Chains A and B, each alone.
Chain A
């Protein structure tokens, strides 16, 4: 679109001023005209971007908010090209993208008022310690349930993750597949961080014994809504939005859970730096943060002050989580490893896993086990929950790094595949041994 001459001069001047240093950005916005557009790269859904577009443009007449919709990898490609492909702002729920792009020099300093925006939830740091990107919202993990379906089966609602492993939920738990549902790797990582590597995998495996696999994020809540499952592991906004739209489901956060951030940043060579700053200011303002409460959005603000006007039933993550602090860098480092393990341990063995755990649960429910039978069952349980990567290997940066680099490094991919083949052999043998022990334990 041609830019009027007067505006071109102004924009050039402002670009120079913005390039003069971060102090200008850090200070209060001076009263000056904004550029006539701001280009925002995002993968947020239309239900959300449309509301922000309308509210921002009404608050800033004459500024055209232009959305460039990109998935994370496509966005990374665009933003790392010279001039960032013309993008001013990156605004998206993609936990790993922001530190990677910061390290690539894509963002400019972005100071905010820490009194209003703490940048952390308890001990969990949700904004960039180097102040190039800022948390915009957080979303928490929890359990969506169908009260009517639970009641129809005489089941009480699960109180926490571990409850989803109970035999009463056999075949009734919607389980997002880590390699296919974007929010779920961090969900499983949070369970591993909270319970510990070995105990966490054992719990995930046992829940998988009750699972109905889900391959799309919103389908966890949908499948529970229809009664196909009675409970599901989900990120909150799918369930909370369904509830706000009148769907017959309930949602609860376990006492300790992860709240993961989505973030916003301004590109280093933003062509419209003033409008970009205005946009970021808007989305981080009380007005912008309150838009997150909309029934079709239902994400959690990062400004503690707006929770005073939250809708009924809204959890305040700043007051929820006890002493559990999700370690985002650790989670990001291990994502590829966790996803690979999940597929080997869970996704590719769902039917066998269900059969094995049903056998274990049945054996455990049998009356009056002898000490010998109890020992066999306990041994079978341990083998069924075993994961072929020791905690020490997972904690060593080398193994997660190998899996993280497999997409771009053929050698790493080959080594990862070899490891996966070994895991498969070990898992097959271990599960077979567990099943044999259960058979031995039969009275």
Chain B
């Protein structure tokens, strides 16, 4: 698409009656609800948004490509060919269905027992590869039923995943290897989270639980590649990336094998000789301009506006009353955001504090990540939660997709959230339904 055509298209999008008053949410609730630009997107950013969208959807090509050399550099090992392959319609992924299925929109992080990258497989299992290079192997999940009885006698059957590997190309992973299953999260509203000042995030931090409420949110602190500083991590399921740009560059390398100005080295380990010998472009495959465009696209993806439902207000009050809002912080404010000033100074309702919390042994992956411990997870935003699965292919929740409903997800909460989970389980059925109805309006 030409820049002019992109501008015409986006101007028309923004001129429509659907533009919301707050500038960053859209009233869409259909299959494409998570793919809309913020209504406030300035005309000078329309071309970059359209360019970024095409890069997000692009299947990356094996080097060399005569037809599109600007889009080659795939792998040599990788998980998927494109961003949209995992973030289907910009939404969340799905875990494998069982032993005969494999991970497509889910991945496995790896490290040696001492926390360093696995010597043979690196930081992430890459099942796929370009021809002539072995893929690293396959991972799947086997599910075990876990019945849970609520206070009123209702039985909810949860399912616990067990990670299995097969066809490992470089031998067994070894004793004590640390693994973490990560389902692709949705990607809307990320620019707004990127624009939240560290000071706002730290307002809610209480590492020592000095207020005695049982909640002790802690920031992860991560090396920021671009600035060389240590910054609060806010992206990734363990808050292991500092900025949206770094998160995207990390995903390009880890998931697609595309190098970038932030991560210029190919993702081959020392034993992966075919990987190291494979042709590559010899420069960052994702240019700075391409990285900027796809970052802007991701930053400018709008948040679905809240819908209404009977009892939603009551459900929201219950949500707060049983303690969910202590971590799923309803409101944050954004600060200056030079890369996309349209996001600055906004009051937003992401229902996250962007902090790490101990979620207990049931959800633990046992794999530390920066300052995040083996049972720590960053509070995931809940905006858009009610549209999970709206594209009709099922909806799964939590870091590994084990929960098939929001209720299941709540019932897996432990650690700092154990008390809230217990209160949820003690609610009368009608009150539980009211709370869940509220969550569906997000």
Residues of A that sit less than 8 Å from B by CB: 1-2, 36, 39, 45-47, 50, 53-54, 57-58, 61-62, 64, 66-74, 77, 85-86, 212-216, 219, 222-223, 226-228, 244-247, 295-296
The answer to whether A245 touches B5, judged by C-beta atoms less than 8 angstroms apart, is no
Q: Is B216 an interface residue (CB 8 A)?
A: no
What chain A residues lie within 8 Å of B104 (beta carbons)?
50, 53-54
Q: Is B188 an interface residue (CB 8 A)?
A: no
What chain B residues lie within 8 Å of A58 (beta carbons)?
97, 100-101
The answer to whether A46 touches B102, judged by C-beta atoms less than 8 angstroms apart, is no
Considering the complex, give the chain B residue whose CB is closest to the CB of A57: B102
Q: Which of A2, A53, A212, A226 has the most CB of B within 10 A?
A: A226
Quick one: given A50-B88, A73-B66, A226-B16, are A245 and B81 in contact (CB under 8 Å)?
no
The answer to whether B131 touches A46, judged by C-beta atoms less than 8 angstroms apart, is no
Q: Is B128 an interface residue (CB 8 A)?
A: yes
Cα–Cα, bound, A107→B97 (Å): 35
Cα–Cα, bound, A87→B167 (Å): 21
Q: Which of B64-92 contact A (CB under 8 A)?
A: 65-68, 74, 80-82, 84-85, 88-89
Q: Is B57 an interface residue (CB 8 A)?
A: yes
Q: Is B148 an interface residue (CB 8 A)?
A: no
Quick one: given A39-B131, A50-B85, A61-B100, are A70 and B9 in contact (CB under 8 Å)?
no
Q: Which of A50, A58, A68, A247 has the most CB of B within 10 A?
A: A50
Q: Which of B132-140, B276-284, B297-305, B318-326 contacts A (4 or more CB under 8 A)?
A: B132-140
**B102-139 near A? 1/0 per residue, CB < 8 Å:** 10100000000000000000000000101110110110
9 residue pairs bridging A and B, Cβ less than 8 Å apart: A45-B57, A53-B104, A64-B138, A70-B65, A215-B2, A215-B5, A216-B1, A227-B12, A296-B89
What chain B residues lie within 8 Å of A67 (beta carbons)?
81
Contact partner of A46 among B82, B130, B169, CB < 8 A? Answer: B82
Q: Is B209 an interface residue (CB 8 A)?
A: no
Cα–Cα, bound, A71→B82 (Å): 15
Cα–Cα, bound, A309→B39 (Å): 39
Q: How large is the interface on B (under 10, 10 to 19, 20 to 34, 35 or more residues)?
A: 35 or more
Q: Is B344 an interface residue (CB 8 A)?
A: no
Top 6 A-B pairs, shortest CB-CB distance? A246-B30, A226-B12, A61-B100, A216-B1, A245-B31, A69-B59
Q: Chain B at the A interface: mostly helix, strand, loop or mixed? A: loop
Quick one: given A215-B5, A246-B32, are A46 and B100 in contact (CB under 8 Å)?
no
What chain A residues lie within 8 Å of B89 (beta carbons)?
296
A325 to chain B, nearest CB (A): 32
Total inter-chain residue pairs, C-beta < 8 Å: 109
What chain A residues lie within 8 Å of B85 (beta carbons)?
46, 50
What chain B residues lie within 8 Å of A223 (beta carbons)?
5, 8-9, 12
**B8-44 near A? 1/0 per residue, CB < 8 Å:** 1101110010000000000000111000000000000
A400 to chain B, nearest CB (A): 23
What chain B residues lie within 8 Å of A246 (beta carbons)?
30-32
Contact partner of B167 among A1, A57, A61, A66, CB < 8 A? Answer: A1
Cα–Cα, bound, A46→B31 (Å): 16
Contact partner of A226 among B9, B30, B80, B134, CB < 8 A? Answer: B9
Cα–Cα, bound, A240→B61 (Å): 28
The answer to whether A45 touches B31, judged by C-beta atoms less than 8 angstroms apart, is no
The answer to whether B30 touches A245, judged by C-beta atoms less than 8 angstroms apart, is yes
Considering the complex, give the chain A residue whose CB is closest to the CB of B132: A86
Cα–Cα, bound, A72→B131 (Å): 18
B6 to chain A, nearest CB (A): 8
What chain B residues lie within 8 Å of A61 (beta carbons)?
100
Cα–Cα, bound, A131→B97 (Å): 37
The answer to whether A86 touches B167, judged by C-beta atoms less than 8 angstroms apart, is no
B70 to chain A, nearest CB (A): 13
Cα–Cα, bound, A62→B166 (Å): 10
What chain B residues lie within 8 Å of A227 (beta carbons)?
12, 16
The answer to whether A71 touches B68, judged by C-beta atoms less than 8 angstroms apart, is yes
Q: Is B174 an interface residue (CB 8 A)?
A: no
The answer to whether B61 touches A219, judged by C-beta atoms less than 8 angstroms apart, is no
B305 to chain A, nearest CB (A): 15
Q: Is B62 an interface residue (CB 8 A)?
A: yes
**B130-167 near A? 1/0 per residue, CB < 8 Å:** 11101101100000000000000000000000000001
What chain A residues lie within 8 Å of B2 (beta carbons)?
215
The answer to whether B31 touches A226, judged by C-beta atoms less than 8 angstroms apart, is no
Q: Is B392 an interface residue (CB 8 A)?
A: yes
Contact partner of A86 among B1, B31, B131, CB < 8 A? Answer: B131
Quick one: given A39-B131, A45-B57, A46-B85, are A71 and B30 in contact (CB under 8 Å)?
no
Contact partner of A85 among B74, B88, B97, B131, CB < 8 A? Answer: B131
What chain B residues lie within 8 Å of A226 (beta carbons)?
9, 12-13, 16
The answer to whether A222 touches B100, judged by C-beta atoms less than 8 angstroms apart, is no
Q: Which of B59, B60, B89, B97 has the most CB of A within 10 A?
A: B59
Considering the complex, give the chain B residue whose CB is closest to the CB of A77: B66
Cα–Cα, bound, A244→B89 (Å): 14
The answer to whether A228 touches B8, judged by C-beta atoms less than 8 angstroms apart, is yes
Cα–Cα, bound, A219→B82 (Å): 20
A200 to chain B, nearest CB (A): 26
Quick one: given A1-B169, A45-B57, A50-B104, are A74 and B16 in contact (CB under 8 Å)?
no
The answer to whether B169 touches A2, judged by C-beta atoms less than 8 angstroms apart, is yes
Cα–Cα, bound, A261→B285 (Å): 34
**Assuming A64-B135, A73-B66, what are 13 further A-B pairs, CB within 8 angstroms?**
A39-B131, A45-B59, A46-B82, A50-B85, A50-B88, A57-B102, A70-B61, A219-B9, A226-B12, A244-B31, A246-B31, A247-B32, A295-B392
Contact partner of A66 among B32, B74, B128, CB < 8 A? Answer: B128
B365 to chain A, nearest CB (A): 25
Considering the complex, give the chain B residue whose CB is closest to the CB of A86: B131
Considering the complex, give the chain B residue whose CB is closest to the CB of A75: B67
Cα–Cα, bound, A24→B168 (Å): 33
What chain B residues lie within 8 Å of A69 (beta carbons)?
59-62, 74, 81
The answer to whether B13 touches A74, judged by C-beta atoms less than 8 angstroms apart, is no
Considering the complex, give the chain B residue whose CB is closest to the CB of A54: B104
Q: Which of A46, A57, A227 has the most CB of B within 10 A?
A: A46
Considering the complex, give the chain A residue whose CB is closest to the CB of B32: A245
Contact partner of A73 among B11, B31, B67, B128, CB < 8 A? Answer: B67
Cα–Cα, bound, A428→B12 (Å): 34
The answer to whether B169 touches A68, judged by C-beta atoms less than 8 angstroms apart, is no
A234 to chain B, nearest CB (A): 14
The answer to whether B5 touches A214, judged by C-beta atoms less than 8 angstroms apart, is yes
What chain B residues lie within 8 Å of A53 (beta carbons)?
104
What chain B residues lie within 8 Å of A62 (beta carbons)?
100
Cα–Cα, bound, A46→B66 (Å): 21
B229 to chain A, nearest CB (A): 36
The answer to whether B67 touches A74, judged by C-beta atoms less than 8 angstroms apart, is yes
What chain A residues lie within 8 Å of B16 (beta carbons)?
226-227
Quick one: given A2-B169, A223-B12, are A57 and B101 in contact (CB under 8 Å)?
yes
Considering the complex, give the chain B residue whose CB is closest to the CB of A246: B30
Considering the complex, give the chain B residue whose CB is closest to the CB of A87: B131
B37 to chain A, nearest CB (A): 12
Quick one: given A2-B134, A45-B57, A86-B132, are A219 and B392 in contact (CB under 8 Å)?
no
B30 to chain A, nearest CB (A): 3
